[in-house]
Chain A
Amino acid sequence: MKFLEHKAKEVFARYGIPVPRGVVASRPEDIVDPPLPCMVKAQVLVGGRGKAGGIRPANTLDEARTVAGEILGMNIGGYTVKQVYLEQRLDIGRELYLSYTIDRSAREALLIASALGGVEIEAVPHDQIFMEQVPVLVGPQPYIWRALLRKLALPKEIGDQIVDIAWKAYNLFRKEDAELVEINPLAVTRDGRVVAGDAKLVVDDNAEYRHPEYATLDQDRTPLEEEAHAKGIAFIQLDGDIGVIANGAGLTMATLDVLNLKGGKGGTFLDLGGTDDPAKVAEAFELLLKAKPSAILLNIFGGITKADTVALGVKQAIDVMHAKVPVVARIKGVNEDKAKEILRGVGMFPAETIEEAAELAVKARRGAS
């Protein structure tokens, strides 16, 4: 679950991390009492807002409304700006960086900090980055803060505030099941206060049941992806035209790769998972048809999944949707001969291997267009 900046800052504030005062608006006329002077910031789930002109200053109410009107509706990285956040403008002396992520290799939390913030951390020279693993079983110990302060080499008054924020951000990271807590810039104002200039927060989808209040947050999903999410189907829309459906994430990815090698391009990633319930298969297939593919490539390796019941679900969906899309199916597993018979009955092309299926799908699409 990704958080827009103003939503992330709400959570930050709950944990005592200093954030500037701000108000959110989705129409210029809704802006009545913004903190002035302010920055008007586009609220989108992608980076690069500043460069795209999505963050601009305003000094008066009129100016704030005008600027907000210009930013709202803008397209930033493929996303339409639906909300702006009007935030008290900080008098920034310098910009730092602080984040917590998960270190997959070490199986620990990873604290990253730098005295050079305000730019992407990937662009900061390696020797300017402080990186320390935090074992979550015991949490951060004081040595970590000592090492952090040595590396950042900042005056004590600033350093103390940074350690305080680092502690609070760690608590947030753990208690909110975060994958990412990023403060960039972590701003130091000219009067010596340390404040979160921006806020990025991503909470682990697997932990949604522990944080039901976040389930309604807007995510960067297409309408079809949203529908799939609500139905619990692993579905991603891609920029190709051939609908790919398989069972298992690895196999679905591999099928997309094979299709690409054979000159086709996948328009969907749909992982059926372990189901062979015809109703569920039909539901997934209907979703796929809504993506309007030029052809469909179905690849099932049924270990335990019964191939014939999967085929029944596919048949059901095709019948219900009156679909005229060419379907190429490669089904292996329990009752595969029965499955092939069912699929032939609804005019599908059976294939023996993934490669053959991909070739047939590419041809079927050409034939259709």
Chain B
Amino acid sequence: MAVLLTKKSRVVVQGITGHQGQFHTRAMLDFGTKVVAGVTPGKGGQKVEGVPVYDGADEAVRRKKANASIIFVPAAYAKDAVIEAVEAGIQLIAVITEHIPFHDALEFQPYARSKGVTVIGPNCPGIASPGQAKMGIMPNRIFRPGDVGVISRSGTLTYEIVNAITEAGLGQTTCIGIGGDPIIGTNMVEALAKFQKDRATKKIVLVGEIGGTAEEEAAAFIAKRVTKPVVAYVAGRTAPPGKRMGHAGAIIQGGRGTAESKVKAFADAGVPVAQYPDEVAKLVATA
């Protein structure tokens, strides 16, 4: 099996007619994803890669029974798109969009949660369950079905690590790019809980980075609740304090959010932490 996204998921692409939306619709279809509809206001009636486009998410749900959505719309319209999807009855939403104002996320995240909807991201590469479905922008060829669950705050660094896991002869159940923003929908602890529960997942990889306390919370959760072997990597050991390292959430503030604190938390929880990205696959293979 896989977590959150499976071959049964019926995906709608919000922002399907944009450059990114079109490109990744093709890639998601190639991955085997059931992309059943697209949404772009004012462009209903068109087709993208054979996928029908509607003016609103409600129509995609009503006519194509869409139950999961991937959002590519520009940052200024992302809040609107998320709430539209929630109201239409979508259950799982991956927000790829970067640079969404924090205060918009402070509104749509609790709103989606209050309606029981799972949000992944924003500012994330999405989610992929190899052999089943992908709702994201990760390159298809790095994946292979297997028993490793991957949770990451980053994009290309995740590809690097997933690729190494695949090259080591292993594979993944699901890879969740939880996002590099300060306010994300599904956090590390929630993703860990899903993999702990998933029978097909035997090992878990966590890719963290500086900023916030997600890794410290994850480490505490692992110590208490996770029985499967976990391997971690933390990016930003040499990042200076007070600087935003590319991701809005990757910032050491007031002495909090340092890599040392995160590495120590994992070590205290008995989680091996790789020094080099390439080391992750080796640690997973022997975990």
Binding site for B on A (CB under 8 A): 102, 104-105, 107-109, 122, 135-137, 174, 177, 179, 204-207, 209-210, 234, 236, 238-239, 246-254, 256-261, 265-266, 269, 271, 301, 303-304, 332-333, 353-355
Contact = CB atoms under 8 A, between A and B. Distances in A.
A121 to B, nearest CB: 8
A107 B110 contact: yes
Contacts of B106: 102, 107-109, 136
Nearest to A248: B156
A249 B278 contact: no
A204 B103 CA distance: 9
Nearest to A178: B103
A256 B239 contact: yes
Contacts of B163: 301, 332
B6 interface: no
Contacts of B255: 122
Given A107-B183, A248-B155, A303-B139, A204 B101 contact: yes
B275 A261 contact: yes
Given A137-B111, A174-B103, A251-B157, A104 B235 contact: no
B277 interface: yes
Contacts of A354: 160, 276-278
A179 B102 contact: yes
B102 A206 contact: yes
16 contacts: A104-B182, A104-B213, A104-B249, A107-B109, A135-B110, A206-B101, A206-B248, A209-B76, A234-B246, A248-B156, A249-B154, A250-B157, A251-B235, A257-B238, A269-B239, A353-B278
B99 interface: yes
B276 A261 contact: yes
Interface residues of B, number: 63
A266 B100 CA distance: 29
A136 B109 CA distance: 11
Contact of B180 (A177, A209, A246, A250): A250
Contacts of B217: 105
A136 B243 contact: no
A249 B99 contact: no
Interface in B125-154: 137-139, 142, 152-154
A102 B249 CA distance: 11
B158 interface: yes
Nearest to B240: A238
B249 to A, nearest CB: 7
Nearest to A137: B110
B129 to A, nearest CB: 17
A104 B183 contact: yes
Interface of B: 23, 27, 75-76, 99-103, 105-107, 109-111, 113-114, 137-139, 142, 152-160, 163, 180, 182-183, 187, 207, 209-210, 212-214, 217, 233, 235-240, 243-250, 254-255, 275-278
Contact of B153 (A105, A205, A250, A266): A250
B153 A122 contact: no
A253 B209 contact: yes
A231 to B, nearest CB: 15
Contacts of A102: 102, 106, 182-183
Given A105-B213, A122-B254, A207 B101 contact: yes
Which interface residue of B102, B107, B239, B246 has the most chain A CB atoms within 10 A? B246
Given A107-B183, A249-B180, A301 B278 contact: no
Contacts of A137: 107, 110-111, 114
Nearest to A173: B103
Nearest to B111: A137
A210 B247 CA distance: 20
Given A107-B109, A136-B110, A251 B154 contact: yes
Contacts of B254: 122
Contact of A248 (B105, B157, B210): B157
Given A249-B247, A250-B158, A253-B245, A260 B237 contact: yes
Given A250-B207, A256-B238, A269 B245 contact: yes
Contact of B246 (A104, A249, A258, A333): A249
A253 B76 CA distance: 28
Contacts of A239: 240
Which interface residue of A105, A238, A249 has the most chain B CB atoms within 10 A? A249
Contact of B156 (A179, A206, A251, A257): A251
